[in-house]
Chain A
Amino acid sequence: MPQLQADVLVIGGGATGAGVAWDAALRGFDVILVERGDLAEGTSGRFHGLLHSGGRYVVKDPVAAEECVVENAILRRVVPDCIEDTGGLFVTTPDDDPAYGDRFMEGCRAAKLPAEEIGVAEALRREPRLNPAIRRAFSVPDASIDAWKTVWSLARGAAAHRARVLTYHRVIDLHRSDGAVTGARVRNELTGEELDVEAGFTLNASGAWAAQILHMAGIEDVGVVPGKGIMIAMNHRLVNTVINRCTMPADGDILVPIRTVSVIGTTDVRSADPDEIPVTQDEVDQMLDDGERLVPGFREARALRVWAGVRPLFQDARAGEVTDTRDVSRTHAVVDHRKRDGVDGLLTMSGGKLTTLRLMAQDLVDAMCAQLGTERPCRTAEERPPGNDDGEHYRLGSRLRKREERLQEEQLICECEMIGRGRLEEAIRTRGTTNLDDIRRVLRLGMGPCQGGFCIYRATGILHAVDRLDGAEAAESLRRFLEERWKGVWPILYGDQLRQARLDDWIFQGVLDVEHLPPGEEAAA
């Protein structure tokens, strides 16, 4: 059995895990990060893209609000390229109590959140599609943040400090010796090969899946309450500012403009299994009604894709049953398994949110340092991970500007997201993957309005040519992409997106007949 050794094993390749790996690597630890799928494939890649100002929490969860205020400012400094400075508004819709606005402003003052009440006319001038019947509006420093870009940037930063990032490596068992966790056995999900990672310390950053990891350490009574939230990406920037309902947190209370789309979220439903989070037509319907409340005509706009994510809300069996997942605090906490369970060498990050990923990582690594009796100061509030060097925020249109400079020079493979052949070939080479879905997450290939209708056949052909995939693998990759894509579109197929889906059916079923491509097994037989 192959063996790897490290100071620290980080379990989970989402925002938390990548942040922890970056933090620990910066402090000079030798780090191995294992992730069962691809980076940011779980909760981190499945949120609405909001960098919280803290306004959402000022009334209900002041601690979370204060954390957001501080971390929002730090992330703007250290990962500027991952953030678009959209600004945000909290608006009182006709269904909301205007008096909440006063409590909101009080909370903002207490949390030192720079909010300002602006006139309704001014709000409508900034956002003309906003419901003209709103009664109050407050301006806050919300922003949108690209989770994939952020996680990749942190992971690259960690790797630049000698961390080893092993994607598609699933933890199948934790090693224990004398009441301490000493590493894990992991399985390469692509090859089936198993290997042992020996680590001085194990940091469990697996979010909604944390209980499954703890179970391997014999720790049974820490439960995760997966809080399912659905989000719908609309095909346009219906707004250019983050729009929040100025009310206690509720379903469908936020609309986030990110890149070329706007995302409405979200619901909060207790879910039994973090891997089983289907979207229902009723949930979609409810979300569209909520959108209508913020932006009249929302139902006439084109929905692009729907997805669900699971929040890593923690439930300690010793603290009583949680009935409404929305009542679980959004702050995070380090679970000290030495104190709680008598297990050394293991810490778990519980709860939290993407906006506070840096602080979460800092707290977790600080706690580890304390147990190890070493003092190594955290540097993540000052150091920028790769890709953020020029200090500029992302701006809508920057990709178009880059593209226009070289318009006649190379083939455009994905017209929707403006991805040239060179970038695609480079991504295939550097990622060393044959999975179109992995490439999608890095390049946004196939994430535009046509949802891969045109680019996916092209990308398959190029994968086949560049990577020397054989026909069976290429066919499998194509089919898998179509199945994955379908999961995100079928619940929102109406209007123009149904029309688009029919055009895509025309291509993939009518012309190319992907359904009848011979499967891989036949070729092998």
Chain B
Amino acid sequence: MSHHDAVVVGTGLAGLTAAVRLAESGARVLVLAKGVGATHLSPGTIDVLGYSPARVERPAEALGALPATHPYSLVGADAVAAAVTWFKERVASGSLAPYASVGDVDANFLLPPAVGVPRPSAVVPETMAAGDLRDGDPVYVVGFRALKDFHPALLADNLGRSGLGVKARATELELVPERRRDVNALGFARALDDPAFRGDVVAQVVTRLAPGERVAFPAVLGIADPHGAWTALEQGLGRPVFEVPTLPPSVPGMRVFALLREALRRAGGSVVLNNVVIGAERAGGRVTALRTRVGLRDERHGADWVVLATGGFASGGLELDSRWSARETALGLPVAGVPGAGEQRFRPGYFDDHPMSRAGVAVDRELRPVDAAGERALENVLVAGATLAGAEPWREKSGDGLSLATGYRAAELVLAASTAVPAAAAGS
């Protein structure tokens, strides 16, 4: 059985953030996960708070108005700001540098995703920032016929209707990598890592631009060298260029995953995939080891601290069975916010406020899981990310911010509480 100062369960933004933060402080960290996390679904922006319920312009201010049960209220606005600063530093000094993130918790950008609605985000990749719709410059939207996950004319049409006075036109290029008819975002991103393909794109677009237009592309501008791809297009076209998030797989999200995993590796931590945590050994209110399933084999991993960041119902961190009983799948922690038998779980309108939507693991201010009576269930387990109760990440546009802030805060709490860490730090 291996033993680590901390075992983090989950490789989404919350888990990786906690792991990197801990490893960089000298802790011996192991990340166990079933597979890659939700980074590959997210737009790659850090949305701190976009709606509450009206559109939020200044997330730092709006955080204070959230209910006490919201995870942001538990970690506090200062931790959110500190986490965001930390994240930007990791990106700027990371494996994709000089690729960087811009923005902060004081103000939201208004960036269009692929349907063209103004979407609030606090921190965004440099490759998206020029899409800010608070800036009224006209937009020329460029799509690729072979990329079915991005429809430029629809985006342009809706931008024109956004009420922000942004005019937009669109075109679709027939350029295809490898002459296939059906290429996904990652296929285009790899093609755009290649200067020759960038050159082809520039050559086809540059003559079509009208004065003053900035240029929108689907978020596929490079996976290994996004800064290079983006600057090459900006220079080649002589215009501001920006990426527009669309359906998964998310290339900007993959960049986040890649650079945080690389940061973890540099700090001495490691990620092991295909490890499904199926339970824990406990002693005196503490978890001493995690039991995992690797294929048909069972393994055990000892840990002083566990950060649980397995995600919510979307990622399999939480499950609801056909008798409507919910469970947290790794450690069997109590799940709060699930309507009882006979109560309504969902409402008939898709955009209604659904009683189930804030279900998750309830925690105290130190992110320890609590039971229905509010009693701490485990001393050395901290919960972060979408597993937490009390938020509605998609509607609030807060998912990445929550994962980042709670993952960061979990690491801080472990470091503060831990007396085991100095020994490890001394050894590193």
Contacts and interface: CB of A to CB of B under 8 A. Distances in A.
Contact of A413 (B148, B154, B322): B148
A277 B172 CA distance: 45
B211 interface: no
Interface residues of B, number: 59
Interface in B91-121: 113-119
Nearest to A493: B346
Contacts of A382: none
A410 B160 contact: no
Nearest to A515: B351
Nearest to B395: A509
Given A458-B148, A465-B151, A503-B314, A511 B116 contact: no
A73 interface: no
A499 B395 contact: no
A503 B249 CA distance: 12
Contact of B157 (A299, A462, A470, A503): A470
A494 interface: yes
Interface stretch (B79-87, B220-228, B240-248, B418-426): B240-248
Contacts of B295: none
Interface string B342-363: 0011111111000010000000
B369 interface: no
B138 to A, nearest CB: 16
A505 B394 contact: yes
A410 B181 contact: yes
A493 B181 contact: no
A409 interface: yes
A519 to B, nearest CB: 9
Contacts of B315: 499
B312 to A, nearest CB: 7
A408 B393 contact: no
B320 A495 contact: yes
Contact of A514 (B117, B314, B347, B348): B117
B237 to A, nearest CB: 24
A460 B320 contact: no
Interface string B30-52: 00000000100111000000010
A441 B41 CA distance: 29
B342 to A, nearest CB: 8
Contacts of A303: 322
Interface stretch (A90-98, A156-164, A241-249, A481-489): A481-489
Contacts, number: 163
A518 B41 contact: no
Contact of B316 (A278, A421, A472, A499): A499
B281 interface: no
A458 B149 contact: yes
B288 interface: no
Chain A interface residue number, banded: 35 or more
Interface string A468-510: 0011101100100011011100110111001100110111011
Contacts of B350: 482-483, 485-486
A495 B326 CA distance: 10
Given A495-B322, A505-B394, A474 B245 contact: no
Contacts of B158: 471, 474-475, 517-518
A236 to B, nearest CB: 15
Query: Which among A288, A457, A464, A495 has the highest number of chain B CB atoms within 10 Å?
Result: A457
Given A299-B321, A483-B350, A515-B351, A411 B146 contact: yes
A471 B160 contact: yes
> Which residue, B38, B117, B319, has most C-beta atoms of chain A within 10 A?
B117
Contact of B247 (A482, A499, A507): A507
B172 to A, nearest CB: 8
A513 B113 contact: yes
B180 interface: yes
A410 B313 contact: no
B208 interface: no
A464 B41 contact: no
B115 A457 contact: yes
B75 interface: no
A299 B320 CA distance: 12
B297 interface: no
Nearest to B38: A506
A486 B348 contact: yes
B163 A510 contact: no
A517 B155 CA distance: 11
A478 B114 CA distance: 13
A77 B322 CA distance: 41
Interface in A402-455: 408-413, 421, 454
A494 B154 CA distance: 34
B161 interface: yes
A279 to B, nearest CB: 10
Contacts of A516: 51, 55, 117-119
Contacts of A494: 320-322, 324
Nearest to A523: B161
B399 interface: yes
Interface in B132-190: 146, 148-151, 153-154, 157-158, 160-163, 180-182
A522 interface: yes
A272 interface: no
A464 B117 contact: no
A256 B116 CA distance: 42
Interface in A270-319: 278, 281, 285, 288, 299-300, 303
A495 B397 CA distance: 25
A471 B153 CA distance: 9
Contacts of A387: none
A462 B143 CA distance: 13
A506 to B, nearest CB: 5
Contacts of B346: 490-491, 493
Contacts of A410: 181-182
A464 B247 contact: no
A1 B244 CA distance: 50
Given A471-B160, A486-B349, A464 B320 contact: no
Contacts of A462: 151
A482 B348 CA distance: 12
B148 A421 contact: yes
A286 to B, nearest CB: 12
A260 B351 CA distance: 29
Contacts of B180: 408
B212 to A, nearest CB: 22
Most chain A beta-carbon neighbours within 10 Å: one of B51, B150, B157 = B157
A511 B160 contact: no
Contacts of A512: 113-115, 117, 246
Nearest to B45: A511
A461 interface: yes
Nearest to A514: B115
A411 B148 contact: yes
14 contacts: A299-B322, A464-B157, A474-B158, A475-B115, A475-B158, A483-B350, A486-B348, A487-B348, A505-B314, A509-B394, A511-B245, A511-B250, A512-B117, A516-B117
Given A465-B154, A514-B117, 4 more contacts: A411-B182, A461-B151, A494-B321, A510-B394
